[in-house]
Structure 1
């Protein structure tokens, strides 16, 4: 019998039937992992998708730490000894892990994001499914650790999954037991943020959240990923918007340290943009998140993160976040380092939680339309500080020895260009009044020299002058 679940497009999607699931289970039970993954790939179609338990096992394969040390092999083992050695080892090769992760990415690109996300642990466990596994499958049992995690970031940490072997039974009636390898040197990194072999799984998560963003925007809502929001804990009070994103922020900062690996650094950029896009809604507290990022970045990798931030596409959410964060750096540079400078964003309205039941898409079309219209009220109402405030903070900026490790000339330049790009995206009537007056002034170059001061290189001033001269107030 087929089982249905909802998709964003409201098309009927069915899980595999019992016979199909049995074929895959048989492969996994007999340790024919590559064959089982290939079978899942062949059975996959727009209308028939793997079950949640099979996707969870795929994720377990993808996260399984590789074996780096080769075991010594007896030169002349007996047939019975060979059989015992094979029974003791639960070998999941790097090729198996790569095939599983590749299939997960294909599923993220072809299935409903909500359907794929059922395999992920989250703070909103409405979609958790631990049923339907074969009791004989060791992989099915071991993969339950994924469901027991708090969030998807925990899965990426070193040591989340330990390699293990199966002890040989001493009696015919006894069953083999699982023995974990505590000396798990599964990668060469010294950080517990993300294991060396877990980067491909991070890429799968990013693909899933990015596609979720696209589909959410296609429904007329702000561009953000509800699935990513489920990976951020709610406030301890249970009220208000979410904001605590220390785990993904740690991943971003760790990605910045991957010198020479552009793909990993790009993953950090993609995750940064995903988090910033959450600020497009009042479900995510912009001010709290901004302060959290500033605190972490200022004491760890300020220059690297700011370079990452300025490399993101200049969308409205990115420009708003960039202006606010750069302004905090400028304000902090002109005052005491221990003073927490607040730029006074407009308070966020209380977030309205999105309730997603399993039979949500079974509602009448009229009810779905009403719910969709109600969700349009989640748009964030972030108000940037006026140009007078930003200008005053730059005038107060004084370089000193305690801040000589930060390129404040470059930060001022980026703040000006970001504010200019943001103003260009607004209608003429919506632009900042003082900004418009500055652009209309015939002595704009002289004003730039006065506002930016001598520490700012002439090249920056020339670029800004050319950029602002093109803009029509």
Structure 2
């Protein structure tokens, strides 16, 4: 049973009331017929012609599109009997969705995000009534049921997800089982397979649209929260592993997907029971081997918001706390689940009442941190100090009155901040003077 992907009555009311009805039975049958006969390109084209803002595609069609989109060359080969004759092998390969069909399915899935309700699209990941008599027959309909058996959406993205799938249907019990056996049991599969990148973008786009249409204040994506465990047992490990894997990519578009996902997680942590310190620790440890320039570049890609500014402050705080004591950590400890309140209370409480809510340091604490000697190289320390103070200033200008530090404006006005951080102008030169001048401009200090 899918224990994670469950509706939450405390956060879904506005999304549900605006959800479109499903496509008509006649339209669905037309698409089913194409897929059942192996006419995958025709079925995808028909779905594209039928898409509308007034009705959404069926759950089974979204599942089947996801399956086609994820299908790789290795997946196709794995579904062909190696002992079969060359002609039978070729015939079997022809019966499977082509690479062109996979690309078309990826594009069609993305087109649904802009016109259909995000919650309606995510219904495909719920077990629901996948064994009902109305479910279509055929290879694709049966194979794609593995999509509904996943604990969370991150499992679908894992490299090799479609390899060696074994689906068992218990008609009488109305339950589906999925047994995953990846090729090499001694090797941990990558969080995102090569064909899963478009699907990760699809999920991220859905969560972003869900956040945009949410009436929660501060805004966040309830759909993303449903992929991170239950109120009694939150689990962001898989989502954070996906972020780290994105950050490690050479392709800037893939790195940007990680940034977009981290943005969503930070907004969640600022408004719900998601563990904010755990996110900070995970990202900090994951970036510990990178240069300050690389870190600053990645963090600069985050969309500005009070939640993001607080994250940057906490991140840089940890950098200095570690640099003034012991060497920086290189391994990420496995987070332990924390006990949370049952039901939806943790989701509906005011953000200011959250137990794990992070409070930014005071101006005095920040000044003391700037004065503390560090073990980091001078240029690195200056860069991090600059980024920390810029983030703190941005937070102070955008935070609610209750979260602002009353002394900050005076610290900025009298020049104490610049002197304590970089030294008096007459006594410094080089990089230190450059950072002081840039910060002075940002703070509008004359």
Pair in the same fold by TM > 0.5: yes
Please list, as runs of the form range in 1=range in 2, the aligned pairs for 1:102-251 lying within 5 A after superposition.
102-120=107-125, 129-131=130-132, 134=135, 136-162=137-163, 192-216=190-214, 219-234=215-230, 238=232, 242=234, 244-251=235-242
Q: Is contact 1:256–1:305 with CA below 8 Å preserved after alignment?
A: no
- Counterpart-to-counterpart distance in 1, 2:118 and 2:439: 42
Please list, as runs of the form range in 1=range in 2, the aligned pairs for 1:5-404 lying within 5 A after superposition.
8=15, 10-11=17-18, 13-66=20-73, 85-87=90-92, 89-120=94-125, 129-131=130-132, 134=135, 136-162=137-163, 192-216=190-214, 219-234=215-230, 238=232, 242=234, 244-259=235-250, 261-298=251-288, 304-337=294-327, 353-354=343-344, 375=348, 377-378=350-351, 381-399=357-375, 403-404=376-377
Please give the secondary structure, in 1, of the residue aligned with 2:360.
coil
Cα distance, 1:55 vs structure 2: 0.9
Cα distance, 1:375 vs structure 2: 3.7
Q: Is contact 1:193–1:251 with CA below 8 Å preserved after alignment?
A: yes
- Counterpart-to-counterpart distance in 2, 1:444 and 1:391: 7
Cα distance, 1:63 vs structure 2: 0.9
Q: 1:181 to 1:428 in 2, by over 3 A?
A: closer
- Counterpart-to-counterpart distance in 1, 2:154 and 2:95: 25
- Counterpart-to-counterpart distance in 2, 1:149 and 1:450: 56
Cα distance, 1:291 vs structure 2: 2.8
In structure 2, the gaps of 5 or more residues are 1-11, 78-84, 166-179, 331-337
Q: Is contact 2:106–2:198 with CA below 8 Å preserved after alignment?
A: yes
- Counterpart-to-counterpart distance in 1, 2:131 and 2:380: 52
In structure 1, the gaps of 5 or more residues are 71-79, 165-179, 185-189, 341-347, 356-373
Q: 1:313 to 1:245 in 2, by over 3 A?
A: same
- Counterpart-to-counterpart distance in 2, 1:154 and 1:456: 46
- Counterpart-to-counterpart distance in 1, 2:443 and 2:282: 32
The one of 401, 409, 416 aligned to 2:389: 416
Deviations 1:85-131 (A, max 9, x none): 4246542222111111211112122111110111136xxx7x67554
- Counterpart-to-counterpart distance in 2, 1:396 and 1:84: 69
Q: Is contact 2:296–2:387 with CA below 8 Å preserved after alignment?
A: no
- Counterpart-to-counterpart distance in 1, 2:400 and 2:203: 36
Aligned length: 400
Cα distance, 1:220 vs structure 2: 4.6
Q: 1:227 to 1:300 in 2, by over 3 A?
A: farther
Please give the secondary structure, in 1, of the residue aligned with 2:254.
helix
TM-score normalized with structure 1 length: 0.73
- Counterpart-to-counterpart distance in 2, 1:153 and 1:102: 20
Please give the secondary structure, in 2, of the residue aligned with 1:193.
coil
- Counterpart-to-counterpart distance in 1, 2:217 and 2:294: 32
Q: Which residue of 1 aligns with 2:176?
A: none
Q: Is contact 2:19–2:119 with CA below 8 Å preserved after alignment?
A: no
- Counterpart-to-counterpart distance in 1, 2:265 and 2:75: 35
- Counterpart-to-counterpart distance in 2, 1:192 and 1:442: 49
Cα distance, 1:309 vs structure 2: 1.4
- Counterpart-to-counterpart distance in 2, 1:429 and 1:279: 18
> Aligned pair 1:434/2:411, yes or no?
no
Cα distance, 1:222 vs structure 2: 1.9
Q: 1:273 to 1:351 in 2, by over 3 A?
A: farther
- Counterpart-to-counterpart distance in 2, 1:391 and 1:277: 28
Q: 1:226 to 1:161 in 2, by over 3 A?
A: same
- Counterpart-to-counterpart distance in 2, 1:233 and 1:427: 30
Cα distance, 1:305 vs structure 2: 4.4
